[in-house]
Amino acid sequence: MSNFTRRQLLVAAAPAVAATPLLKLAVDQKSAPAATHHLAGAHADMTGAMTPAPGGPHDLDALLYPPAALAHQPGRVREYEIAAVDREIEVAAGVFFAAWTYNGTVPGPVLRATEDDVLRVKFANGGSHPHTIHFHGIHPANMDGVFEVVEPGGSYTYEFPARPYGMHLYHCHSTPLKKHIAKGLYGALIIDPPAARRPALELVMVLSGFDTDGDGANNFYGVNGPAFYYAKYPIRVRRSQTVRIYLANLTEFDLINSFHLHGDFFRYYPTGSGESFEYTDTVMLCQGQRGIVEIDFSNTGRFMFHAHQSEFTELGWMGFFEVTD
């Protein structure tokens, strides 16, 4: 059941959600109701078990919680193995997408190194198309993942000193680039500064969309993959602990995406590469833009986070923090 249009989904969701002007507009269009059953159980608040998100409560833990930072030790090798794999994934309840993945998930695995580590990534192309891995950061030309295209069945090892510190990303750079990114070949790359960041609960959020009907527009949006996932499974945090989010936007087709937090403000460090920050509750990101969000929650309770493009929110890019003492 991947033959969804954006409008069909909005129509399906409309009876369950208070009618915003956008949803009312969609209802007025009277589009085909074929998809209605997928969201028939949607609760008005889109919270908890009634939320139309696939998966179990810990399915995305490996994408949400990054590997621990290691102390600065120049020359240490951080080695990762990544395989490109064609795989059908469930991007919303009952909606499947024929993805191209790194290691079977969209986004791919979180890579982490400390500045001056040697980052070594052994890449094997087990997919059906030529792929590469292009990293953001500073590295030699032959490690850039543009010209050394890896054919199906082939492999390539990327190796370079990890720098500069910050929140980065990686993605396939084969052509057509738009297709290789839209299909799901991307992930987060964290490079830690030589002086450790202060303690925090660390999370990774990679923003993206899924064009499930192949019309060149996204039908669903999510954080670390599936639509509505963190609405179904709110992220539990403590008020006493800083929440640090490594945030990146890999959304294809739409020119911008955004992150908006309810009920509080956060420090936003663009690219995570310096000390200067903006104190805000909303940041806008184009594709490839990323940064570090640091939240010190003022209050306990349930707080929403979502794209401040309302349509993205209604198509899956929303979630909750559950803040306790």
* Binding site residues, Cu ion, CB under 5 A: 131, 172, 174, 180, 185, 288
| CB of 16 or CB of 99, closer to Cu ion | 99
Kind of pairing between the strands at 186-192 and 166-171:
antiparallel
**Taking the complex as a whole, how short is the minimal distance between the CB of residue 35 and Cu ion, in angstroms?**
29
| CB of 131 or CB of 306, closer to Cu ion | 131
Please enumerate in sequence order all residues whose Cβ is within 8 A of that of 276, keeping only pairs 6 or more positions apart, or say none: 269
Element of type H or E holding 59: none
Kind of pairing between the strands at 235-238 and 220-223:
unpaired
**Taking the complex as a whole, how short is the minimal distance between the CB of residue 183 and Cu ion, in angstroms?**
7
**Taking the complex as a whole, how short is the minimal distance between the CB of residue 288 and Cu ion, in angstroms?**
4
CA distance 307 to 219: 15
| CB of 12 or CB of 189, closer to Cu ion | 189
**Taking the complex as a whole, how short is the minimal distance between the CB of residue 63 and Cu ion, in angstroms?**
19
| CB of 185 or CB of 188, closer to Cu ion | 185
| CB of 55 or CB of 104, closer to Cu ion | 104
Q: Decide: 10 and 20 in contact? Cβ < 8 Å.
A: no
**CA dihedral angle for residue 199, residue 264, residue 13, residue 25, rounded to 10 degrees:** -140
Element of type H or E holding 111: strand 111-114
**Taking the complex as a whole, how short is the minimal distance between the CB of residue 192 and Cu ion, in angstroms?**
20
**Taking the complex as a whole, how short is the minimal distance between the CB of residue 123 and Cu ion, in angstroms?**
11
Q: Where are the alpha helices (DSSP H) in the chain?
A: 6-13, 21-28, 61-64, 177-182, 229-232, 310-314
Please enumerate in sequence order all residues whose Cβ is within 8 A of that of 324, keeping only pairs 6 or more positions apart, or say none: 236, 237, 238, 239, 300
| CB of 4 or CB of 135, closer to Cu ion | 135
User: How many angstroms separate the Cα of 110 from the Cα of each of 17, 152, 168, 189?
Assistant: 34, 23, 10, 6
